Structure 1
């Protein structure tokens, strides 16, 4: 057990016939007491400083651990954000590609439908034109037939009337053909414009 300065100060020795010189012993004990008090005080101060430093060190260790945990959490959060952003970007791009593909497919389908319809209209128009031309040709041939020649010789007025009616019919038929041409052309332009708007 450590000896305190107070114990040294109060320590008393027994006396004997041939004992030490009391004054020398007291003087030495005084000097020893002073040195021990100084060392004891320094030791106590050092212990207090060590305890204080240990407390501060523990605080620094706690701060260091907190900073490490915060850094790890921040790194994990940043990685999670990066991964989620990458996934979201890929999902958006995939959705955009699918949407664009659907739009292109619809536009291509619409274009094919319009082309088919246009070809059908052109085919019907040319078929009608051929039939009408054949009809007119047959009517012209009929007008030149021997049966009508009889009317030319016997009834000039009737022949003039027939020719006038035929001329009127020719004009009407020609107008009908021109109107049909314009109708087909207008339909073709409208369909082309509609296709252009769909693509836009």
Structure 2
């Protein structure tokens, strides 16, 4: 490519029948001026293109970095989500086990309370029977004549027979 200096330094041979040298010089001066302007613009445009290419490369690097960062963030988010899901599952299973343990303990407590209630009912029924027997004996004592009581001689065998009869009566009432 010709430079403005090449054009400016170009000399033509003079001939007898040649062009008018002043016109050639003026024309070459105009070409030189225009060419110099275009040449400078060309250099400036090349510099701008180079600068823009560097900018594009910089932004491509940033874009690649952002893509990688986004991929890493997505991967991390998925891993975090999976980890949270696993933890939630573990917490849920643990809560279910604890709830089952509480239910089992509550059932055992209800069973124990029912057993205790049954024992207390049996004790109550037995006490009720004993009180009835005691009251019957007291009523019999108050209704019998005191003279008749002294007239009869009570032996140990009579007391044992009476106690056995009372126990049989208590057992019979308990069955009712």
What is the CA–CA distance in structure 2 between the aligned matches of 1:149 and 1:108, rounded to whole Å? 60
- Separation in structure 2 between the aligned mates of residue 52 and residue 150 of structure 1, nearest angstrom: 138
**Superposition TM-score, scaled by structure 2 size:** 0.64
Q: Distance in 1 between matches of 2:80 and 2:92?
A: 18
Q: TM-score, normalised by structure 1?
A: 0.58
The answer to whether residue 115 in structure 2 is matched with residue 96 in structure 1 is no
Aligned to 2:46: 47
Quote the Cα distance in structure 2 between the aligned partners of 1:72 and 1:47: 37
Following superposition, the deviation at residue 90 of structure 1 comes to 3.0
Instruction: Give how far 1:108 is off.
Output: 0.7
Distance in 1, matches of 2:35 and 2:59, equals 35
Higher relative contact order (CA 8 A, sep 6+): 1
Cα distance, 1:96 vs. partner? Answer: 1.3
Deviations 1:77-132 (A, max 9, x none): 33433333333223222211210111111121122123223323433554576578
Correspondence list, 1:87-126, <5 A? 87-123=86-122, 126=125
Structure 1 residue runs of 4+, over 4 Å off? 127-138, 148-151
Give the count of matched residue pairs: 150
